Structure 1
């Protein structure tokens, strides 16, 4: 467990964790040894000179005081280290998630990461603060007491010692039996979380389609599955709890019977038997808590395993000696890219000279958006190379590459802050004049003027308080403020009304001026304004050239244009 914890966190935390574990172990030993002082106390009290118990009683009180101080220090150390680990885990997880390729964030990842970043991290990192101390005490204190019993009376000590392998076996078997049920419960928990998120995000679509009842059944089914898995998890732990309880009670009874037998035979006195029973009782209490503590530790370990799996996901490799692009032209050299078993792009070769515009069109699923994502290195190609300024994107540092690229997606995500804060993401150090100029160029100032609060108006989570066209204007203003030499546009006007489309197109025209541009779009204005058009179909380039030239050809572009794109002229 400790090794897993340190592997997840990193070796820099090994020292504080080991010191805390050592302090907790010493505390547990002192607790067990303090009970050893009960032997002379009870002997004197039940002997001929009860007054002789006073010095031993004082020594026992002193030992308890030392134990109390050590317990306070070990608990305090546990909480402090636990807080440090929690902060370190959040930082490490956040940094790692930011470095993972966008392709890693597939279906189901949102629910998984939500659970891990919330209750998962808290449960895993709470081991040091809340579980490790009681667990060490439940293991070490009884062993110390048994050592005292062996020194006091080897027969009774051996009887108590016989319980150790039985208790260990019961715990191991109970843990193995509960592991599968715990794993199923965790899986159902992730599924239910993902369903809840999906249900909330899909409310507009579901209500518009009158399908809320059907979708609710999916969520309800996930929650019922979680309930059943939780019940099985609880039931799977019952044999371990019962087995541990019966074992501890059976050993206690055996010690009692053996003590009575020895007392009747004259081997030990009544005071000694009473002392043994007190020590045995002190052994029983922490042992009985092992089942509950063990269950919590198994749960924490399961979360650690899931955290470890996320942290082991490989980010895209960084070049040891990053190169600097010599310009802003783009090139795809025999690029092949696969997603799972599907080939998205197959041997694609094309180039975009610096300062020129390329329009990419094609049917849905042809690989158009993937082209943009490969330029930004959201994924790495399976074959071939994507080059920026003559340099392979894999040889360019991530920060240097992203500094050269401004991206405007079809679906814009805004952070829950003010409009100005979202625009400033393009260039956080920009002055107010630059922000206002970018907003004016994107015609965002029109939006700001009619919003209560103006620039200080909040946009809501994901930008939900703004319309789609307004969010696009924020995204374009952000890209204008960044002032990157390469611009990637992904169907940014496909779902806009005519008024917003005109405003967004005006901002796009200003954004594209003098820059290298790759635009995915179906609007006539977008395609006709490009220097060259690439028609993608089935992951391959079916045709490329000027728009008018392709319309006259027999590549299928004219049919596609007439069937899928010409209706857009009605706007």
Structure 2
């Protein structure tokens, strides 16, 4: 547990934990050794001269005082380290996530990271503040007491030593038996959470279809599954709890019987027997607490392992000596790109001169969006090279590459803040005049003027308080403010009404002016503004040329165009 925690924290943050563990271990050892002073204290008190116990009582009091100071310092160190490292862990996780390729952030991983960042880090760092002290005490204090018993009487010490492997075996067995049950419970918990969210999100559809009752049964089934998994988890822990309690009680009974036998035989006195009983009882207390700690530690270990897995994810390699391209033309040299054992792009070669526009069209799954992603280096290609200004993108520093590219996606995400704050993400440090000019070019000023709070209007999480067209205008204004020489467009008007589509088209025209552009087109009327058109099918280029040339040639592009125009006419 502790080694995993230290690995997750890393060398920068692990030192306070090591110091805390050292303080807690010293306190636990001193606690166990201080009980050795009970033997001379009780021997004197039960002897002919009770006054002889005074020096031993003073020594015992001093040992307890030093233990109390060490325990206080250890607990305080644990609390301070936990709160400090919580912030440090967030920074380390955030820094690492910022270095991972954008393509790593699939929908499933975004959910996993969000849960881990909100609950997982808190639970993992809570180990330091709340669980480390009882864990160290449960592991170290009994061993110190066993050492005292061995020094006092080897027979009693050996009897107590038998409990060590027995307790370790019970705990290991409990951990193994609980692992599957805990995993199932976590899975059921996640499934039930998803069902609850789904049930709330699709209420309009369910009510219109009159199927709310059916959906409720699905949710109820998932909650019953969670209940059964929780019950199995509790039942699987029961043998471990009982086994630990029986083991500790059995060892305590053995020590009591053995101590009594030795006392009756004259091997030890009544004072020593009383001291043995105190030591055995104090040894049993932290061992029995392992049952309560076990579940919390397993949950924390699961979170630590998830954190470690993410932190061990390798970011895309950075060039040792990054190259800064001087031009902004683009080229793809026989690139091959695979995802999940599927070849998405297969031997694609093309070039886009600086300041020209390339439109990429094709059926769904042809690899259009992937072409943009490898150009922006969301992923690295498996073969070939993607070049900007004649320089392989893998040889360009990430910040330099991103500074040269503006991307407008079909699905726009806005941060929970004001419209102005979201536009300013395009370029920090831009003055008000530049922000207003970018907004006017994107026709965002029309939206701002009709909103009661104007530029201070809050967009909500993900931009939920704005319409799709309004979000696109914010996104285009942000890209215009960035003023990057390369623009990537992933069909930004496919789901807009005519008014917003016209406004967004006007903003896109301003954005593309004088820049190198690669645009994915789902609505083919946008390709008429391109200098060249590329038709992709199953990750390969099957047609290339100007829009008019491709129509004259016939073939897949002409057929695709005809279907698109028929669809538009039907609207």
Same fold (TM over 0.5): yes
Post-superposition offset of 1:299: 2.3
Q: How big is the shift at 1:218? A: 5.3
Distance 2:261 2:31 in 1: 29
Q: Partners in 1 of 2:499 and 2:269 — Cα distance?
A: 100
Partner of 2:420: 420
Q: Aligned pairs, how many?
A: 571
Q: Distance in 1 between matches of 2:558 and 2:451?
A: 44
2-side partners of 1:471 and 1:207: how far apart?
Answer: 29
Alignment correspondent of 1:102: 102
The 3 A distance-change label for structure 1 pair 408 and 210 is farther
Q: For residues 185-243 of structure 1, what are the alpha-carbon distances to aligned partners after superposition, in whole Å with 9 as ceiling and x for unaligned? A: 33444444555556666667666776666666555554444433333222222211111
Q: Assess, with a 3 A threshold, how the Cα gap between structure 1 residues 522 and 172 changes in structure 2: closer, same or farther.
A: closer
Q: 1:202 to 1:426 in 2, by over 3 A?
A: farther
Secondary structure of the structure 2 residue equivalent to 1:108: helix
Provide closer, same or farther for how the CA distance between residues 213 and 456 of structure 1 changes in structure 2, counting only shifts above 3 A.
farther
Task: Select between 454-463 and 349-358 the one with higher mean Cα deviation.
Answer: 349-358
Matched, 1:272 2:272: yes
Aligned twin of 1:38: 38
Aligned to 1:489: 489
For 1:381 and 1:452, the matched residues in 2 are separated by 48
Partner of 2:398: 398
1:49 paired to 2:52: no
Report the counterpart of residue 551 of structure 2 in structure 1: 551
1:145 aligned partner: 145
Single out whichever of 271-280 and 429-438 deviates more from structure 2.
Answer: 271-280
Could you tell me whether the CA contact under 8 Å between 2:426 and 2:479 is conserved in 1? yes
- 482-491 or 551-560, larger mean C-alpha shift: 551-560
1:301 alignment partner in structure 2: 301
Q: Does the 8 Å contact 1:188/1:222 carry over to 2?
A: yes
Corresponding position: 1:290 with 2:290: yes
Matched, 1:437 2:437: yes
Aligned to 2:25: 25
Query: Does 1:9 find its partner at 2:19?
Result: no
Tell me the CA shift for residue 285 of structure 1.
0.6
User: Structure 1 stretches of 5 or more lacking a match?
Assistant: none
Tell me, yes or no, if the aligned pair for 2:367 and 2:539 is still in contact at 8 Å: yes
Q: CA deviation at 1:271?
A: 2.5
Q: CA RMSD in A?
A: 2.2
1:169 and 2:166 are equivalent in the alignment:
no
User: How far is 1:460 from its partner?
Assistant: 0.2
Matched residue, 1:479: 479
Contact between 2:103 and 2:373, CA under 8 Å: does it hold in 1? no
Match of 1:128 in 2: 128
- For 2:415, what is the secondary structure of its paired residue? coil
Q: Give me the whole-angstrom Cα distance separating, in 2, the residues matched to 1:143 and 1:538.
A: 66
Contact 1:416 1:459 in 2 (8 A): yes
**Partners of 2:368 and 2:536 within 8 A in 1:** yes
| Correspondence 1:178-193 to 2 at 5 A | 178-193=178-193
Q: TM-score when scaled to structure 2?
A: 0.95
Unaligned residue ranges in structure 2 (runs of 5+): none
- After superposition, the Cα gap between the structure-2 partners of 1:255 and 1:24, relative to the gap in structure 1 and judged at 3 Å, is same
Q: Structure 2 CA distance, aligned partners of 1:196 and 1:299?
A: 23
Q: Decide whether aligned partners of structure 1 residues 341 and 202 sit closer, same or farther in structure 2, where only a CA change above 3 A counts.
A: farther
1:484: how far off? 0.5
Q: Distance in 1 between matches of 2:150 and 2:349?
A: 81
Query: 3-state DSSP class of the match of 2:484?
Result: coil
Q: Are the aligned partners of 1:150 and 1:157 in contact in 2 as well (CA < 8 Å)?
A: yes
Report whether the alignment pairs 1:371 with 2:377.
no
Taking a change above 3 Å as real, the CA distance of residues 440 and 320 of structure 1, as seen in their structure-2 partners, is same
Specify whether residues 91 and 473 from structure 1 end up closer, same or farther in structure 2 by C-alpha distance, changes over 3 A only.
Answer: same
